[in-house]
Structures are given as structure tokens and as C-alpha cells.
Amino acid sequence: MILTDIQLECVRRFTSPVRLEGLGKGLNVLAAPNEAGKSTLLMALRAALTLRHGSKAQPVKEMQPYGGGAPHIGVGFEWSGKPCWLEKRFMKGAFARLDLGQERFDGDTAEERLNALLELEKDGRTEATGLWNALLVRQGESFVAPVLNNAGRSSIQNCLEQGVQEVTGIAAAGALLERVKARLGQLQTAATGRPTGRYKQLLDDQAKAAENLKSLHAKRTALEEDLVLLEQTRRTLREQENPERQKQEEQELHKLREERDRLRNLDAEEKAAQARKAAALQQFQNIRDEEERRKEYRAECTRLEQVIAASTQELAELAEHEKAANLRYQAAQAECQKAVQQHQVRRAILHHVMQQREVQHMEAALLRQRENLKHVQERFAQIEQAQVAFDALPMDEAKIQRLRKAAQKVATLEQHLQAQATVLEMDLLPQAQQRVVLNGQACASGKSLLHAPAELQIEGIGRFIITPSVGGDTVELQQALQIAQAALTDLLQQAGCLNVEDAEQQYEKHCLAERQLKEAKAVFAATAPSKKGVNPDQVLLELRHVLAKEEAAYAQKKQTLAQNLASQIGSADECDLNCQPDEAVQQEQEAALAVDRAREKERDAQQALITAKTALDKANAAQQQHEVGLTRVQRELALWQGREPDVALAQRKQLCQQEQEAAQAAVEHCEHARQKERPLAVVESGIQRREQAQKTDGETIARLREDIRERETRVRGAEGEGLDERIAEADRLQQRLNMEVAACTRDRSALVLLDQVLSKAEQEQTARYMGPLVKTMQPAFSALFPGAELEMDADFGVAALSRNQREDVADLSDGTREQIAVLVRLGFAEMLHGRGVPAILVLDDALSFADPMRLERLFDVLAEAATRFQILIFTCHAQLFAPLRGRMLSLRPQESFTSPR
């Protein structure tokens, strides 16, 4: 198929007719600046090929110019060697016409014939789609891989199936899969797999039905409960309203009241008898108590008189005993005091002996300290001597170093000077020695160094002037030597030395004195090891200070001892005072034991005295108490007897007994009568209950009636609803829904499985037969990406390139992905062309991101492909696409739209 002519008018910016000129076989390039109408041209071409002329849908409206109008497009092309013409007008005056050679088709027939020619498929009422959509590449579309719709897939699958010997039937599988998916789509959503449509409705209905059934059963339960309670309530009400029952209750109440009155009278009688009996009993008890008391008092009188007689004798014995105890206590006190005094003396002696021993220790310590101080003072004197000797030798390390350095410098300069001096060596005969005079002095044999011009005079020979060759630095060396010698001399003077050897001797002495000083200090430090690191002066001062303090303490102690001896001990024996401390300790302990023993005796005697005194006091108190008691008892007995003699009391007691017996008889009579009756509390409770019941009967009846009315209303309501029937119906509905849901679930499972299995089979088969497509595309890919192998996916896109390693297309750069997408479209066109179906490729504003080398290769690929089918390239980069060397196209306005026939 070769496009030969494209005309359009009333398409967006082209309100007037315009024509694309220059179209022909092979590569065609339309290079024009932005907004020249390239994209509009492609839009018009797509519209002519794919949009139905009768449509007024959005894609058609988008073609209209701003001022409105009917888009009119004409496309001339050659097919099978015949000139063809396609012309369509949209919107007002819409028509379609297709001339295939001599054949002409109009209207829908033209559309169908065109679709058949291009293998397009109707997609709704507006558009026809197919692989051609992938071949007319709009601006920006070239960056993405072509997305194929069903017709496109079908078209490419047809191409591929033709290429393989075995018929794979992928299209049929696709159709089958489409049906499966459509059917499955009725049951679940494609994206999430959630139930949808009728299945979802059934599930919802099932849940609602279950809920409804549950609710109805709950109502049924409530109804049954209402029915039971209604029957009970009615029964209760009937009983409540029964007049016989009311009369009977009235009679019962009357009887109960009579019984209660009788019981109350009986109760009162019994209480009176009980009171009488209690009073008689109490009186009898009082009389008997009185008699008892009188008897007890008389006995008490007798007892007290006997006790008083016995206690008088005991008192005398206790007084004697107390007196003897007092005497024993006084004797023990005296002995104890004496022992205490003796012990105090022994303690003073012991203290004195211990103090005396301490003074002796202090004295010995003082002697040692004095000795030590003396020794330290001697060592200190040695240090002082060594220090004096050391201080007298000023030649120290620094000075000797400076001297050595100065002497070294002088020697070095002298050596340098000698090296530069003129050597005059003479070997003179003995008789000639006086005849040779150098600088006025007689010469001897040997070497002479001449630093300055010298005069040699040889007697009988003449006078020679020897002038040494004075170099550049000889004079400087001489000057430096003089300075060095002066410095050395100055240093020697400062050190008080005659020469360097003397200085060295001085330094050795200095070192020796230093060692002696160190040794003296070390000896001193060894004498006072506790003061290591402390200045010897300080140490000596501290020792003297300590000794002075010790001596003062010693004197103080001695004086105190003498004073104590005078004041505390006084008359002690001399031998006791001078005894050994152990002995003094023993004597003191013995004295202390004697004190303890004396105190023990004293405590025993005191205890005995206290016991005797206590017994005496107690006996005295008891005696007095008994006497008071006897007096009180005798007085009360006399008082009682005066008030009521014993005879009168006995008569009153007899009367009381008689009264008590009479009251007891009355109580027993009442009790006997009451045993035949019910308890009063029970009777009263019965009366109260019945009276209360009578009061509340009206309320109860009203409440029961109300309750019955309420329950009847509910029951009627449930009856009106036909609850049982509704339950049966709901049950039936739920069973049906359960069955339907189960069927849908089974259907869904089967369809899901079928979908999976078919999809898998289709992918596998697609992969199998994808070979021809890869084979078709591979040369172009190899030209652009040398050594690369293609990997295609089931959607006819390139999944990956394998060069040195596998690279997913998604990971490649935008430019590379665009180039791959263009090659894929080229491959599609190639496949269509190979199958004898019309095919061209139109690229709008593509390949702008390719590098020059890649673009050059791509041009080669496009040029090679253009030898088989037509390729149109629209670009705004004229220079960039100039090397393509295609036919240059141009858009030219024309006066009118010109159809070929």
C-alpha cells in the first residue's frame, strides 16, 4: 500500500483545503516547524482510516475547526497496483466513499470494506481498531510500546499463525478466554476478585435472609413466651375475680380476728399471773437472803474474834524479830564501809605504782631521743662540711663544657692555619747552625712554619726573603684564632684557672665534692627514715622541738606523781608504794572482792530487816481491819434485829410461799389454754396478709388485665403477620439462596480455574509462536543494537534485550525505549506486509532523543524497511532527518478539495 495523496479541509487549523504533496514509495519526510499542522495531518489520516463517517462522538468533534465545520478528508493510495481513493466527510453532510480501482463503495459499505482491507474491527459506534492503530504513531506515542486491543492482537496472531506450521488456535483460545472472563466478570470483579453482580446480590440476600429468619425466630420465641404467660395471667385473673374466693377470704379473716382477740386476752392474763408470781418469788427470795445474811454475819463475828486473838500474839513475835534484823543490818553496814576504805587505798597505791612506771618509761624514751638527736646533729654537720667543700669548687658541668668547646675551637683553627702555612725544613750541618738566621734568630734543623714573610739570612751566602703564599682565608683564620684564643683566655679567667688542664682538674674535684655531699645527705636520710624527702634543717628542728616537748611532759608527770603521793596515799608503807605493778593489781583486786562480799552481807541484812518490818506492818494492818470489821458486823446485826426480829421474818416468809404457789397455778392454767391455740404472731400475720391482699386485689386485677391486654395485642400482631407462615417462607428463601450461592460459588471456582488454565496455555502457546515475530524483528534490532537478542512477552512487546547480559526494557533509557518501540511497530508493519495486508508506518515527531550514531543506524533500518513498505516521518528537525534522504513532503493550500473522480 502506497499513500499517494492526502487532502483535508475543515480539520482543526486547516479551515481551507490543504494537500500533502510529494508522497511516493519508500521514505517520506515532512519537515515543518512547530504548529505547521503535522499532528493535525496525522489525526486526519487516522480519522479517515478508523473513524466512522456517521459518528458525532468526541473524537470527531475534536477534529472540527474552531469556527465549526464538517471535517473533510481524502486519502489516495495504491493497492495491488490499483489506484484507490478514500474520502470521508464528518458531521454535516457526512459521507464515506472508497474507490478500489474501478470498484466504488459508499457509506457503511465503504466503511466495512475499508475495515476488511485493513483488518480493523468495530469498537463501538465511533471507531474501528486494529493493528493499524499501532502503525500511525502520534506525537509522544513513540515512547511507549504499542498497546494492542483485541483486533490488534487478533491481527498479529493471524500473522503469526500463518507463519507457523502448526495451527495454535490462540485466537480461538482468546475468544474462549474472553467468554470465560465475561462470565467470571458477572460473578467477581476483575481487579480484586470480589463478588459482584448477581453473586454479590445473592450473598447479600443470603445474609439478609439469615438475619430475617433469625429475627422471625426471635419473634416466634417471644410469641410462645407471650402465649404461656398470657394463659398464666388469665388463670390468675380468673382466680382473682372469683366471688366465692372473696367471700371465703372474708370469713377466714373474721375467724382470724376472733382468734387474735382471744389470744390477746389469754396473753394478758398470763402476763398478770407471771407478774404476781415473779413478785412473790422476789419477796421470798429477799426474805431468804435476809436470813442468810444474818446467819453469815453471826458466823463472821465469831470468826473475827478468834482471828484478832491470834494476831495479837503474832504481832509481839514479829516486833522481836524486826529488832534483831535491824541490829544485824547496822553491823553489816559498818563492815562494808571499812572494806570500801581499804579498797580505795589499794586503788590509790595501784595508780601510784602505774604512774611511777610510766615516768620511768618516759625517762628512758627521753634518753633515747637525746641520743638520736646527737647522732642526727653529727650527720648534719657532715652535710654542712660537704656543702662548704662543694660550694668552694665553682667548676661545674656547664662551665667545663664551655671551656672544652672554646679549647676545641682554638685547636681546630690552629690546625687549619698550620695546614695553610709555608713549611721550611732545614737540615743543617752542625757548624752551620749559627750561620743561618731566620727572622733574626739562629735556626736549628727541623721544620718551621711560616705564616708571614720571613727573612732568612745565611752567613756568607746572603739574605733570603721567604714570602708564604697568603690565601684568601689565612688572614681570616688568623683573626678567628685570635678571637678564639681570647675567648678561651676569658673563660679560664672567669673559672680562676690557668689553663685547660687546670680547669679539668678543678672539674674533677667539683664532681668528687658533689658525690660526698650526696653521700652525706643519704646518710642523714637513713638516720631519719620517717622524714625522707624533708629538708635536713627542718628535720633537725623538728627533732629538737619534739625532745623539748617530751622533756616538759616528763617534768610535769613527775611533779603530779609527787603531789598525788602526798594527798591520796599519805600513810602507806614504803614497801607497798615501791612494789611491782602485778602485786599492786592483785592487792587491789583482793580489796575489791572484800568490798563485794561486805556489800552482799549488807544487802542480805537489809532484806531481812525489810521483810521483818513488812510482816510487822501487815500484821498490824490486819489486826486493825479485823477489829473494824467486827465492829461493823456487830452494829449491823443489832440494827436488823431491831427492825424485824427473826420470828417476824419467818412468818413473812411463809406468807410469801403461799402467794407464789397461787400465782404459779394461774400461769400454768394460761399456758395450758394457749397450747391449744396458734401463736398470736402467726394469726396477726395472717390477718395482715389478708387485709393487704384485700387492699391490693383491685390493683392486681387492673395490672393483670393490663398485662393481658398488652400480651393479647402482641399476640394479635404476630398472628396478623402470620408469623409461622413467614418463618416457613423465610426458611424456604434461605434454603433457595443457599443453593444458589453454592451454585454460584461452584461456578466461580470452575471459571477461575478455567481462566487460569486457559491464560497459562495461551501464554505458553503465544511464547511458542512468537518465534516468527522475533525472527522478523531481529535483523532491525541487530542493526541498531549489535549482538542483542530479543525477548518478547505475550502482549507482543519487547520484554528484554540480551546483550552481554539480560536487560529489562523498563530499565533502559527513554531514548533507547523509544527506539525499541519504533522497531516493534516496524516489525508489526513488516508482519502485515508479509501477509499481504496493507501496511505503512507513520511516525510523528519521533526519535528526537537518539544519539547521532544510533540515529544513523536507525536511518539505515528505516531506509531498508522502506524498500518494502511506505514510511512517513513528520518532524520539526529538518536538519536532523536530512541524512535520511527521503522524499521531502510539503503541505500546500489549494483552492478546492479535488477528488480523483
Partner 1 sequence: MKFIHTSDWQIGKTFSFADDDTLGALQAARVDVVRNIGALARQEGAACVLVAGDIYEHETPERRTLHQPMERMRQFPDVQWHLIPGNHDADTPEGVWARLRREDAVPDNVHLHTCPQAVEIDKAHNAWLLPAVLKRRHTLSDLTDYMNDEVTPPDALRIGLAHGSVVGFSNGQEAKHNPIALDRAKQAGLAYLGLGDWHGFCQIDARTCYSGTPETDRFVTGGAGGGETLVVTVDGPCAQPVISRYRTGKYIWRKLEDIVLTNGEDIEALEARVRGINPDNPSIVMAWLEVSGLLGVDDLRKYESVILTRLQSAVACLRITGAPQLAAGAQDLERLDASATVKVAAQELLQMVEQGGEEGAVAREALQRLFLFWHEVEGAAA
Instruction: By CB under 8 A, name the one of 719, 808, 811, 856 that touches partner 1.
Output: 719
Q: Are strands 27-31 and 887-888 parallel, antiparallel or unpaired?
A: parallel
Residue 757 within binding range of partner 1, rule CB under 8 A: yes
Instruction: By CB under 8 A, name the one of 765, 778, 782, 848 that touches partner 1.
Output: 765
**CA separation for the pair 577, 565 (Å, rounded):** 9
Q: Return the number of the residue (168 or 660) whose C-beta is nearest partner 1.
A: 168
Q: How far is the CB of 707 from partner 1 (least distance, A)?
A: 15
Of 212, 233, 213, the residue nearest 714 (C-alpha): 233
- Report the SS3 class of residue 9: strand
Q: Are strands 841-844 and 136-137 parallel, antiparallel or unpaired?
A: parallel
- Report the SS3 class of residue 827: helix
Instruction: By CB under 8 A, name the one of 162, 408, 700, 749 that touches partner 1.
Output: 749
Q: Return the number of the residue (166 or 425) whose C-beta is nearest partner 1.
A: 166
Is the backbone of residue 81 left (phi > 0), alpha (psi -120 to 50) or beta? left
Q: How far is the CB of 702 from partner 1 (least distance, A)?
A: 21
Phi, psi of 456 (to 5 degrees): -110, 120
Stretch of 107-115, 135-143, 147-155, 722-730 contacting partner 1, by CB under 8 A: 722-730
List C-alpha distances in Å: 834 to 121, 568, 848: 20, 151, 29
By CB atoms closer than 10 A (0-12, 13-18, 19+), residue 118 is: buried
Q: How far is the CB of 222 from partner 1 (least distance, A)?
A: 12
Q: Return the number of the residue (573 or 724) whose C-beta is nearest partner 1.
A: 724
Find the distance separating the first CA and the last CA of the chain, reported in whole Å.
20
Q: Return the number of the residue (373 or 708) whose C-beta is nearest partner 1.
A: 708
With a CB cutoff of 8 Å and minimum separation 6, the contacts of 72 are 8, 9, 10, 11, 87, 88, 89, 90, 897
Stretch of 86-94, 270-278, 514-522, 715-723 contacting partner 1, by CB under 8 A: 715-723
Instruction: By CB under 8 A, name the one of 160, 503, 751, 839 that touches partner 1.
Output: 751
Binding to partner 1 (CB under 8 A) within 144-173 occurs at 166-170, 172-173
Residue 875 within binding range of partner 1, rule CB under 8 A: no
Residue 289 within binding range of partner 1, rule CB under 8 A: no
Cα 881-884-888 angle, rounded to 5 deg? 75
CB 156 within 8 Å of CB 794: no
Partners of 464 in beta bridges? 456
Residue 731 within binding range of partner 1, rule CB under 8 A: yes
Of 741, 770, 678, the residue nearest 258 (C-alpha): 678
Residue 175 within binding range of partner 1, rule CB under 8 A: yes
With a CB cutoff of 8 Å and minimum separation 6, the contacts of 772 are 159, 160, 163, 164, 831
105-134 mask for partner 1 (x: CB under 8 A)?
------------------------------
By CB atoms closer than 10 A (0-12, 13-18, 19+), residue 21 is: middle
178-197 mask for partner 1 (x: CB under 8 A)?
-xx--x--------------
Stretch of 200-208, 241-249, 404-412, 758-766 contacting partner 1, by CB under 8 A: 758-766
Q: How far is the CB of 900 from partner 1 (least distance, A)?
A: 39
Instruction: By CB under 8 A, name the one of 120, 484, 609, 718 that touches partner 1.
Output: 718
Q: How far is the CB of 158 from partner 1 (least distance, A)?
A: 14
**CA separation for the pair 735, 750 (Å, rounded):** 22
Q: How far is the CB of 725 from partner 1 (least distance, A)?
A: 5
Q: Return the number of the residue (599 or 736) whose C-beta is nearest partner 1.
A: 736
Of 319, 299, 318, 303, the residue nearest 626 (C-alpha): 303
Q: Contacts with partner 1: how many residues (CB under 8 A)?
A: 48
Q: Residue 229 corresponds to which cell in the numbers above?
A: 404467660
658-697 mask for partner 1 (x: CB under 8 A)?
----------------------------------------
Stretch of 478-486, 622-630, 730-738, 833-841 contacting partner 1, by CB under 8 A: 730-738
**CA separation for the pair 323, 608 (Å, rounded):** 11
Q: How far is the CB of 125 from partner 1 (least distance, A)?
A: 21
Based on C-alpha coordinates, what's the Rg of the chain?
A: 76
List C-alpha distances in Å: 193 to 151, 745, 751: 26, 12, 12
**CA separation for the pair 870, 26 (Å, rounded):** 5
Residue 742 within binding range of partner 1, rule CB under 8 A: no
Of 641, 395, 417, 430, the residue nearest 505 (C-alpha): 395
Q: How far is the CB of 204 from partner 1 (least distance, A)?
A: 18
Instruction: Report how far Cα 592 is from the mean position of its chain's Cα atoms.
Output: 78
What is the 8-class DSSP label of residue 567? I
Q: Residue 35 corresponds to which cell in the numbers above?
A: 504548529
**CA separation for the pair 28, 177 (Å, rounded):** 41
Q: How far is the CB of 171 from partner 1 (least distance, A)?
A: 8
Q: Return the number of the residue (23 or 723) whose C-beta is nearest partner 1.
A: 723
Cell 487516522, residue located:
46
**CA separation for the pair 637, 646 (Å, rounded):** 11
Q: Return the number of the residue (170 or 332) whose C-beta is nearest partner 1.
A: 170
Q: Return the number of the residue (722 or 883) whose C-beta is nearest partner 1.
A: 722
Residue 704 within binding range of partner 1, rule CB under 8 A: no
**CA separation for the pair 337, 506 (Å, rounded):** 89
Instruction: By CB under 8 A, name the one of 459, 476, 583, 724 that touches partner 1.
Output: 724
Q: Return the number of the residue (54 or 163) whose C-beta is nearest partner 1.
A: 163
Residue 744 within binding range of partner 1, rule CB under 8 A: no
CB 266 within 8 Å of CB 673: yes
Q: How far is the CB of 774 from partner 1 (least distance, A)?
A: 19
Q: How far is the CB of 226 from partner 1 (least distance, A)?
A: 8
**Burial profile 842-876: b = 16 or more Cβ within 10 angstroms, e = fewer:** bbbbbbebbeeebbebbbebbbebbeebbbbbbbb
Residue 234 within binding range of partner 1, rule CB under 8 A: yes
198-227 mask for partner 1 (x: CB under 8 A)?
-------------------------x---x
With a CB cutoff of 8 Å and minimum separation 6, the contacts of 149 are 121, 123, 129, 130, 133
Instruction: By CB under 8 A, name the one of 321, 726, 857, 868 that touches partner 1.
Output: 726
Q: Return the number of the residue (448 or 745) whose C-beta is nearest partner 1.
A: 745
Q: Return the number of the residue (569 or 752) whose C-beta is nearest partner 1.
A: 752
What is the 8-class DSSP label of residue 847? -
Q: How far is the CB of 825 from partner 1 (least distance, A)?
A: 26
Stretch of 12-20, 48-56, 342-350, 728-736 contacting partner 1, by CB under 8 A: 728-736
Q: Return the number of the residue (198 or 732) whose C-beta is nearest partner 1.
A: 732
Q: Are strands 82-89 and 95-100 parallel, antiparallel or unpaired?
A: antiparallel
Q: Return the number of the residue (525 or 733) whose C-beta is nearest partner 1.
A: 733
Q: Residue 21 corresponds to which cell in the numbers above?
A: 504533496
Instruction: By CB under 8 A, name the one of 323, 361, 709, 732 that touches partner 1.
Output: 732
Q: Residue 509 corresponds to which cell in the numbers above?
A: 674535684
Q: Return the number of the residue (61 or 768) whose C-beta is nearest partner 1.
A: 768
Partners of 819 in beta bridges? none
Instruction: By CB under 8 A, name the one of 324, 423, 750, 882 that touches partner 1.
Output: 750
Stretch of 83-91, 98-106, 436-444, 711-719 contacting partner 1, by CB under 8 A: 711-719
Residues that bind partner 1 (CB under 8 A): 166-170, 172-173, 175-176, 179-180, 183, 223, 227, 230-231, 234, 712, 715, 718-726, 728-729, 731-732, 735-736, 746-747, 749-751, 753-754, 757-758, 760-762, 764-765
